[in-house]
Structure 1
């Protein structure tokens, strides 16, 4: 652990709070994080204004409604083929009013990330969020980061661009760590404790997980999220990614980052200090609080999330992680320590395997079996200090192709 302040999220960094209402660009506006962020903005029009929206293009009607309601200046869609449908949906809502500027294609969100604003909320799912993350940082925007994958796959690239305090985490776990770390100096930190709900399969053995279905995996007990992140929570890959993210955000070594299972999802993470004190950040499971921290810090947004009713009894439990049934966290630590393109390989292979599982082409245990095999074949990567965007893209392309090959082979063998 370094004694210097982290170059990324640091609650001790001084912020200028005199600018009044903040202009926000929302990337991934039709997803879970994006829709909740827009709801928060609409409830606080004196604090925030959304100036631009970007989405993949899967929910054109919702994107058009968001644009019209927020009166944004620009709308971006990744899938160029849906642009005519988006334009017609906007015309139907705007009538004789001028339409916002429309951008389309894989680079559209990256263009918006560099547009004039105070904060870019990156709520895109997957490593395609890397380019917008880099663009926002290079343009000097505050980055409210929900797209953990961009930090995972491009850690050294992101850290090289980020100025002190420029990234504010939106993951509930890292927003919790961010707040708890404000209670002491970095030199006072003994360890970070990242909590995990355990997902829908907590307590099951590897053998019992062999035949779980898509529907089983998507039935998360405490959080309502998109399908990819919900499956990642079921395999605990999400928690492995969060361990890498915590290491990169706070400059804490991997051996001082612990994962503990907390089924109620009330405590979002904890910081243990050298004097034996542990500070926990707790709210009922709701992303309103972390989103408000991301776009509003250092000010708090009143009623951003529900609070506890302390007149009612409740039980909070904590259990050790079952590393045999859920080997993903250990593998994530391994690739995090390797650095270079290893995290990108891990993440890309996992994304392909989750897609195969959701499509019924791969069993649940096959996700981590395949990811482990791809990581092993990748071997020892180059040093992280020389990492480039082409390095990341090349590694991801190879990992995706190899994961598809291995997944198809596993499926064929299972059916034989």
Structure 2
């Protein structure tokens, strides 16, 4: 492209220089020839006038008296009746520019100048025009190279930016080049880089969230399967009933695991695309307690619930269960003593509080405990962040009400039909 720009610019300059140069040579040649002809004629007129005036006055007519000097370029002949002609200069042998004037008493003056003088003057003019043309072409070549570099360098830079985007480096460069069309392309590439960066961030976030959130139901599922394996080889009807019950619970956990995956995928595409419905909050709380009892029993701890029952909330049961599972798992891993789930009502909201008897949340963390990668126990720092995202996707919120002992609260909208009417006036 750079070569094409240079060649096209030089071609335009050469055409312009050629057209105007040829025209100028023609005009200057005619001007020089006409000027020479006019000079010769003016010289002849001057000499005949001088000769006439000296003849009338009876003075001697000589070359010096009439102001004629020898010249290598011009020949002068003065003829007077009854007198010897006066010749000054060498008579040219080739084509000449000539002027002849005749006086009232028969005097004749002839002035000749060889056309070689005219051609020499035209040649000098042609050399000057050619030098100017060469200078113009050189200047145009320099400007063409600079302009080609000015246009081609940004295009090369934009190509490198596009290549970087294709190789997975979505950082915008924010470079502008002072050319509106190129700046427009740069704007589009920077906007594309921002979009690609957000998409890559969302994909990485989805992978991290999925790996973290799937760990909790998989842990519970593995415990259920261990219970099933432990009681599989028995003929006791009660043990067989236990196996069936554990298998049913494991199947429910698999279904919830599928729901978690679907929920994560949905949130990665559009965090606002929630599928909130009215559901029985007691059922979700009871399900979580039943699922986590074996793990707490193995750790020598207990999990209990208290508070108001018969509450209905608005949200996604699977997401609410996942949030509670995250809080319960955190209490199991980082807390101590009995874990309590308490349900209560505040205005048009229902609240599920999860607390334990452990050391609580580090004072240095505070509310930052919900930020990604922030953790006080060398964990991934994703669990609470993802739990808050799930809660907010359903129009609820997850908060840390108290650091010691730790109290986490999940706020959900209360079903309209379940809200107590205002007292009668």
The normalised TM-score by structure 2 is 0.19
Larger Rg: 2
Larger relative helix fraction: 2
Question: Whose relative contact order is higher, 1 or 2, with alpha carbons under 8 Å and at least 6 apart?
Answer: 1
